[in-house]
Chain A
Amino acid sequence: MFTAARIAHYASLAAIIWRMTIELHAPDVALTAMSGDEGDLIQRLRAGDKSACAECIDRHSAGVYRLALRMVNDPHEAEDIVQETFLNAFKAIDSFEGRAGLGTWLYRIAYNTALMRLRKKQPLYVSIDATSTGNEEEGLTTPLQLFDWCCLPEEDFQTSEARTELERAIAELPETLRAVFVLRELEGLSTDETAQVLNVSVANVKVRLHRARLWLRERLAGYFTELASQATEQTAHT
């Protein structure tokens, strides 16, 4: 029974991975020119060239790792996701047609792998949050923090405490906003590329990025407003 359930489980995972690797070849995906360099690498990967695997890992593993880490917030699990991503990518390389760049395709596999893991861990939370498209086009949350903390001394923004606060805020970004935020703002993907990775519309990427920025602003305001009020109190006492 247990074994049968496991086989069924892995079969369904395999089906999901297969779907997600071929989705990028849908005709509506914009055809991006594959550079000769990348074309050559893909030819060698298809031929089973080990040095091509190493080259692909060298080029793309850092980005894939950063995305995985931001998604799951755990270095060990991020490493597992990177392993799975390259394993699945090398297995499916014959079906990769180069409509998107190799990097975009790898981000897509990594994103889906991370999402499956999150779904297994927190089925209710992720299934409601990550797959819902509702609420996206509705009105934005009104900003509540209206103190202008932007003109604090520059050194107040460069402390390790401030950086920790920012890291924590990014880690707490809602699931649906975080992947868009990481790909667009931290990995530097274009709006089109981000839309391809996440399989959502360009308009959706723009809305989610704007929401993520407003969310982070609101979240950071608490910390920096407090810092500013402490500075004001100190000035008043001297």
Chain B
Amino acid sequence: MAHTNCEHLLADLSDYIDGEAADAVCAEIERHLADCADCRAVVDTLRKTIYLYRNLPQPALPEATRTRLLAAFTFDTAPDT
């Protein structure tokens, strides 16, 4: 992060990676990346970070928890009589 506008571009990197940055902002970032190895490393590894967590297996609801929940709300609750 040696150049003066590295930090200035940092705020727009998520929009850039998500394809949500305005054309002018994209062009500015791409011009900068062509010339700045540090920012290229940040963008590459930020993309990789996103890829990794989006492909992380998510915790499942344990079957026992699901069974207890269903029991609590569908059998154990007394009707208002």
Contacts and interface: CB of A to CB of B under 8 A. Distances in A.
A214 B46 contact: yes
A210 interface: yes
A66 B58 contact: yes
A51 B47 contact: no
Given A142-B7, A166-B52, A213-B46, A65 B70 contact: no
Interface of B: 1, 7, 10-11, 13-14, 37-38, 40-42, 44-50, 52-54, 56-62, 65-66, 68-70, 72-75, 77, 79
A186 interface: yes
Given A57-B69, A86-B73, A139 B56 contact: no
B46 A217 contact: yes
Given A79-B65, A83-B72, A140-B11, A148 B53 contact: no
A216 B74 CA distance: 41
A74 to B, nearest CB: 12
Contacts of A48: 79
Instruction: For the complex of A and B, list the 5 residue pairs with the smallest distance between their C-beta atoms, beginning with the closest.
Output: A148-B41, A150-B48, A210-B14, A150-B44, A62-B61
Contacts of B11: 140, 210
B50 to A, nearest CB: 6
Interface in A152-202: 157, 162-163, 166-167, 170, 185-186
Contacts of A50: 73-75, 77
A71 interface: no
Contacts of A147: 41
Contacts of A185: 50, 53-54
B44 A186 contact: no
A186 B74 contact: no
A235 B24 CA distance: 43
Interface size class of A (residues with CB under 8 A): 35 or more
B10 A53 contact: no
A82 B65 contact: yes
Interface string A118-154: 0000000000000000000001101101111111000
B49 A79 contact: no
B42 A143 contact: yes
A143 B75 CA distance: 54
B75 to A, nearest CB: 8
Contacts of A20: none
B53 A166 contact: yes
B73 A217 contact: no
A82 B49 contact: no
A62 B45 contact: no
Given A148-B41, A148-B45, A167 B69 contact: no
